[in-house]
Amino acid sequence: MACAGIANPNGWASPVVEEGILVTQIDEGELSAFTTPTGDSLALNPTARLWTYPGGTDDDDGVDLKAIYATPLIDGGIVYVAGYSGQVVALTLQNGRPVTSWGGPVDIAERIVATPALHGDVLYIATEVGRLHRLDASNGTRVATPVDIGGRIWAAPYADARGVYVAGIDRDFVAIDGSSGQSRWSRDIGAVAGDPIAVGGLLYVPAFDRRVHVLDLTADGAERWPDGGRGDAWFWSSPLIEGNTVYAVAVDGSVYAFDRDTGALRWRTIAASSDEVRAAPVLQSNVLMIATRDGDIRGFNPTNGTLLWVEHVSGERFYADPLVLESGLVIFTDEDGGLWRVDPSSGNTQPFLESS
């Protein structure tokens, strides 16, 4: 059945690299770390795995992340992980052991899909029941009572000195005072499930109203593209900002290039068949790449949208955002946690690390 698996959460956390360590969800609900991949395949280097969490030790008793949708957040040698089960843990990047000052996982008891945000010492965690929790990043204690936003929150909150910005799938984008939790302003921009991207005081927000919204955080969220950024299907994946162009992929697989100042359409490709795309686009070696739920990886010319190549990975689904390693390797993660290395020039796709 085509819908097999839709009722079971698998998680689509994107892999991250910090201090030469790649952290990824290779098995459902488990986080693994590998030494910096330098070769062609991590699978060829069995000693590359540094740690796995939970790893079956006594310390990990009672830890059940269930599935990981939120991309692990790494700051100052600490990995903050939020599981779909509602548990939040802080791990030492080098060895994967829980940070002692946290005293074990913090159970929020609400499902977590959104990637947490960190600003100063406060870790902002948005949940599926529409609440924003504020934890002290150093010890995991609650800084203040949770703020009710309403609706399910799947998009990562964004925090800066002015406050925290949260978008839910209940069609409201809300700016909150970080310390008091009071709402500063809100914008009705349609349901938002994809992570907004902040650049230069502007927040680029993909929305289900078939638009990419650009909100000016310095002007109470004033819309900077009142007439631009329009597509023909939901925008779920995060947009990619490169030079003076904003690339966005709609869930039906159509790719759009918008003028960064006005949101005017520069070019668009129409998907041959209705795909489901959640993964963000990536630009490497002058090739714009997207990955679909049906297992397609496609390369486009970023200047005019011409399709350069299509690779199909049989039996795999791509939801997670891709990663570009320092070496220039482009990594896509499949639904089961397997990593795939893609050559931007030819589209040649090879297994990089297989899920167990």
Partner 1 sequence: MPIGFLWQTFLETPLINFMVLLTVVSFGSYGLAILLFTFITRVITFPLTMRTMRSTRAMSELQPQLQEIQKKYSDPRRRSEETMKLYRESGVNPIGCLGSQLLQFPLFIAMYQVIRTTLGGTPEGVLYLESRIYDFDMLGGTQFLHDSVPLSTNFLFLDLSSTGYSPTSITFMLLVFASMWLQQRISTSRTKPASDQQQQMNQMMQWMMPVMFAWFVVVVPAGLGLYWTATTIIGIVLHWIFLGPGDFTWGSIVPQQLRARLVPAAATASASTNKSGALLDGADATTEQESSDGANSGDQRRRRRRSRRTGAQQPGSQSRSSRRRRRQRR
What residues line the site for partner 1 (CB under 8 A)? 1-3, 5-10, 12, 69, 113, 151-152, 154, 169-170, 190-191, 193, 208-210, 233-234, 236, 251-252, 274, 276, 278, 293, 319
Name every residue whose Cβ is closer than 8 Å to that of residue 141 and which is 6 or more positions away in sequence. 135
Minimum Å distance from CB 190 to partner 1? Answer: 8
Minimum Å distance from CB 69 to partner 1? Answer: 6
CB 208 within 8 A of CB 234: yes
**Nearest CB to partner 1, comparing residues 51 and 234:** 234
3-state secondary structure of 44: helix
What is the chain's Cα-based Rg? 20
Minimum Å distance from CB 7 to partner 1? Answer: 5
CB 49 within 8 A of CB 21: no
Name every residue whose Cβ is closer than 8 Å to that of residue 327 and which is 6 or more positions away in sequence. 37, 38
CB 224 within 8 A of CB 216: yes
Phi-psi region of 171 (alpha: psi -120 to 50; beta: other; left: phi over 0): left
Q: What is the DSSP letter of 139?
A: T
Q: How many residues in total does the chain contain?
A: 356
Minimum Å distance from CB 150 to partner 1? Answer: 10
Minimum Å distance from CB 154 to partner 1? Answer: 6
**Nearest CB to partner 1, comparing residues 154 and 173:** 154
**Nearest CB to partner 1, comparing residues 91 and 153:** 153
Minimum Å distance from CB 232 to partner 1? Answer: 9
CA angle 281, 259, 244 (to 5 degrees): 75
3-state secondary structure of 166: strand
**Nearest CB to partner 1, comparing residues 107 and 170:** 170
**Nearest CB to partner 1, comparing residues 274 and 348:** 274
